[in-house]
Amino acid sequence: MPNPLFKPPRHLVKEWPEVFEDLYMNTMPVAYLDSVRLDFTDGRVWEIDVKNELIKQTPEGIAEILLNTLHEYKDEIKKIDFKVDVERLKKDIASETNKLF
């Protein structure tokens, strides 16, 4: 069963339920993430600016760092929130869909 911490926030699911209803962070391509926010049980908050990091390194490298971080701190993380570049995702999906017809 997927980890509910990896589920997109409700407001994102409401915006485009057909895409985000069954999506989990570990299946979201990093290239579509703007940022990831980790809220820890001790009150710490880490905001990871994925969009900025994509300028410096590959999506695969960022994905590896994110997954390693989530694994390392899994017992301390209370909540994960991630912001998705929805417009870019919609544009890319529409573009790929148009290629089918």
pLDDT digits (tens, 9 = 90+) for 26-52: 556 888 889 999 999 999 999 999 999
User: pLDDT at position 16, please?
Assistant: 56
Query: Which regions in the chain score pLDDT beneath 50?
Result: 1-5
Task: Please count the other Cβ atoms lying within 10 Å of the Cβ belonging to residue 4.
Answer: 8
Distance CA 5, CA 52 (A): 23
Contact in structure between 2 and 21 (CB atoms under 8 Å): no
- Residue 76: which residues within 8 A CB-CB, separation 6 or more? 40, 41, 42
User: pLDDT at position 51, please?
Assistant: 92
Task: Please count the other Cβ atoms lying within 10 Å of the Cβ belonging to residue 64.
Answer: 13
